[in-house]
Amino acid sequence: MNIKNLLKLSITAALLATGLTACTSPDAKDAKISKADAEKIALNRVPNGTIKESELEREKGKLIWSFDVATPGTKNITEVNVDAITGEIVAVDVETPEKEAKEKAEDEKK
């Protein structure tokens, strides 16, 4: 393989890697609903809650803000997903400590 072909191959690989990253890692500028507004929406769903974690992600083809909300008096975490385009709540899931540990273990395998 000559230098010219090697250079082309390297550039192509770099562009593909950049493109794949851009497709899987949404940016806050892609959202029409700000993180602060989405937090208010999530906290309205979980009164007296405190946001422990948040992220912008694509799930089932939708751009969402995902919030893990802790509630006083329980060890459970309520995950609230807010559509980052419309501001609608698209999912609410109460996670027990056991379920959350299992999820983290699965994420680490990926």
Q: Which long-range contacts link 22-26 to residues 24+ away (Cβ below 8 Å)? A: 24/58, 26/56, 26/57, 26/58, 26/63, 26/84
pLDDT of residue 13: 52
End-to-end CA distance of the chain: 34
Which structure tokens are listed for 65?
Answer: 């803000």
CB 102 within 8 A of CB 52: no
10-residue averages of pLDDT along the chain (110 residues): 54 51 68 97 96 96 97 95 98 92 86
pLDDT of residue 7: 45
Is CATH 3.10.450.40 the right assignment for the domain spanning 27-109?
yes
pTM greater than 0.85: no
Residue with tokens 């329980």: 74
> What are the sequence ranges of the domains in the chain?
27-109
List, in order, residues 6 or more apart from 39 with CB less than 8 Å away: 51, 54, 65, 67
pLDDT of residue 18: 47
pLDDT of residue 78: 97
Which structure tokens are listed for 64?
Answer: 């969402």
